[in-house]
Amino acid sequence: MASLKKYPIKFNSVKECEILSGFGPSICKTLDDKLVEFARKCSLSIPDALALGNRLTHAELLERCLSRVSSCCWTLRTPLEKEALLHQFSSPLERPLVDSQSVQLHAVSSEGDGSPSDYLIGQSYDIILLIDIHETYGMSKVKEIMRTQAVKWETRSLPVGDFIWIARDPGGSSKGEEIVLGLVIERKRADDLASSIVDGRFMEQKGRMQKLGFRKMYIFEECKSMYNLRISHETLLQAMVNAQLIDGCDFVTCTSGEQCAAYIASMTRFLITKSQYNCDVYSDGRRPWEAFGDARLWGIPWTEYINLGKKSPALPLRDQFGRHLLQIHSISGSKAEDIIALFPTPKSLFDAYDSLSTEDEKKVMLAQSTRSSRLKYVKCLEFISHIFS
């Protein structure tokens, strides 16, 4: 971001972005894929798509980014403006309205991963906002805004995400009948994001959000100390850009807790307007082909959400050792598997090297200990012996 601000030049190809600091092959490839997608949707050639992008003003670019629910990072303004924007996201459904007095689950064909296993009849379920019980900062103001805007909400211990929505029978209370809608939101103040990047929580939380198969969104809340944190402001921006381009997350930027609450309330009302239509229910790893919000509501059972979102148990020492080996240059998964088959723990490998007296013996020890041809590469063996002896 800093490079683009410093050098606001027009490029003839995405490859040219590599001259800028912070733009590596991975980010350039992601940008290239986005360009191809943009050209396809606009029925343009790549040069014409680039020319169109270079002709657009800053305001026109923002308008295009805000026109779809899967837009990139954009700044929340007033609740009324955001309410209007949220209603732009809605698209008409071909599925007819079905009246019902209570929630009904109907089995449907589930051939292929994109087919739902059940669905909830439209107008027969309530949409309830769930707020993580561990989300405490500024929540008194958030809850006050929810009450004043007549938003149904509950607090609950959530394994992943600070805000989710469930579809539930108006007269029911069993969590086993609840459907978690396919959208998870994590709220991050600038100082919290900085500390979570440093201690690794940001990557770990992002990985658990990825496992859900939901649309993933971060609400980034600015604070006065955001330019005087443990890491630079540029690093925060880079982390958000990487999460957008590489991990497919959406970012919404707010300047206060009140704006965050207004956005959550508006999103809740938007989801309620779509509850008049059927809600597809997916299970056993199935997910729809289209993104959440593009066509209709969908979700997964509460129990599946809990199982997917909870933290992974501690890995056995053997698996941890295998992951450690994979960090060594030129060690592939198959090579690491061959090594831990012989030496399942770091101590066993250390002891094996300590039992040898010469460096030459240590360099060929792994190759002589297995018949696998994958451990015959001399430089690789020398590197391992240097680390563990």
Question: Sign (positive/negative) of CA torsion 326, 330, 333, 336?
Answer: negative
pLDDT at position 159 over 90: yes
More confident residue, 73 or 372: 372
Is it the case that residue 16 has pLDDT exceeding 90?
Answer: no
- Cβ–Cβ < 8 Å for 241, 1: yes
Q: Which residues fall within 8 angstroms of residue 249, CB to CB, at 6 or more apart?
A: 206, 209, 216, 217, 218, 243
Residue 83: predicted pLDDT: 44
369: enclosing H helix or E strand: helix 359-369
Write down the pLDDT at residue 70. Answer: 36
Rounded CA separation 211/309 (Å): 7
CA dist 180 to 73, 184, 190, 267, Å? 25, 9, 28, 15
Query: pLDDT value at position 71?
Result: 37
Average pLDDT over residues 139-149: 82
What average pLDDT score do residues 18-25 get? Answer: 69
Which of these is catalytic: 32, 118, 135, 169? Answer: 135
Whether the per-residue pLDDT at 67 is higher than 90: the answer is no
| pLDDT range class, residue 95, cuts 50, 70, 90 | very low
Tell me the mean pLDDT in the region 290-314: 81
167: its two tokens: 């579809």
**Can you give the pLDDT at residue 374?**
66
Q: Catalytic: 361?
A: no
Pair 184, 209: CB distance under 8 Å: yes
DSSP result, 263-297 = HHHHHHHHHHHHTTS-EEE--TT---SSPTTSSS-
Task: Please give the residue that has the higher pLDDT: either 285 or 250.
Answer: 250
Active-site residue, 118 included: no
Q: Please tell me the predicted confidence (pLDDT) of residue 129.
A: 94
Beta strands 163-168 and 153-156: pairing type?
unpaired
* Full-model pTM: 0.58
Nearest CA among 340, 343, 344 for reference residue 352: 343
- Where in the chain are all domains bearing CATH 3.40.50.10130? 74-309
Instruction: Name 97's Cβ contacts closer than 8 Å, sequence gap at least 6.
Output: 122, 123, 276, 277
> How does pLDDT run across 160-202, given as a tens digit for each residue?
999 999 999 887 655 557 999 999 999 998 888 888 888 888 8
CA 39 → CA 13, 58, 164, distances in Å? 13, 19, 34
Report the distance separating Cα 253 and Cα 356, nearest Å: 59
Hey, what CATH class is 74-309 in? alpha beta
If you classify domain 317-388 with CATH, what class do you get? mainly alpha
Mean of the per-residue pLDDT values for the chain? 76
Domain with CATH 1.10.150.670 in the chain: 317-388
Cα R_g (the chain), whole angstroms: 25
Residue 135 designated active-site: yes
Confidence of residue 351 (pLDDT cuts 50, 70, 90): confident
pLDDT at 363: 78
Percent pLDDT > 70 in the chain is 72
